[in-house]
Amino acid sequence: MPRLDMTLQELKERALFVRRDIIALLARSQTGHSGGPLSSADFGTVLFFHEMNVNPGRLDDPSRDMWHFSIGHVTP
């Protein structure tokens, strides 16, 4: 999936969906921390859905962008 031409409003809605998903995952697991993942929702959404060249169906694409998010304490 090449970069998506999402409007600012669409990116905000996607980030809100990501936040809701984070809260649902934390509630279901009854453990974890909300601060790190919630504070990363905006920049993660913009990177993945607007800036990065990614295609989950073509993992072997040499032109794809990769993101290694190494701070594990930001995961829920």
What pLDDT sits at residue 45?
93
Question: pLDDT value at position 41?
Answer: 93
Question: What is the pTM for the complete model shown?
Answer: 0.77
Q: Which residues of 29-50 are buried (b: 16+ CB within 10 A; e: fewer)?
A: eeeeeeeebbebbbebbbebbb
Tens-binned pLDDT, residue by residue, of the chain (76 aa) = 555 678 999 999 999 999 999 999 999 999 888 888 899 999 999 998 888 988 878 889 999 998 887 776 666 6
Task: State the pLDDT at residue 70.
Answer: 75
> What ranges do the domains of the chain cover?
1-51
pLDDT given at position 59:
84
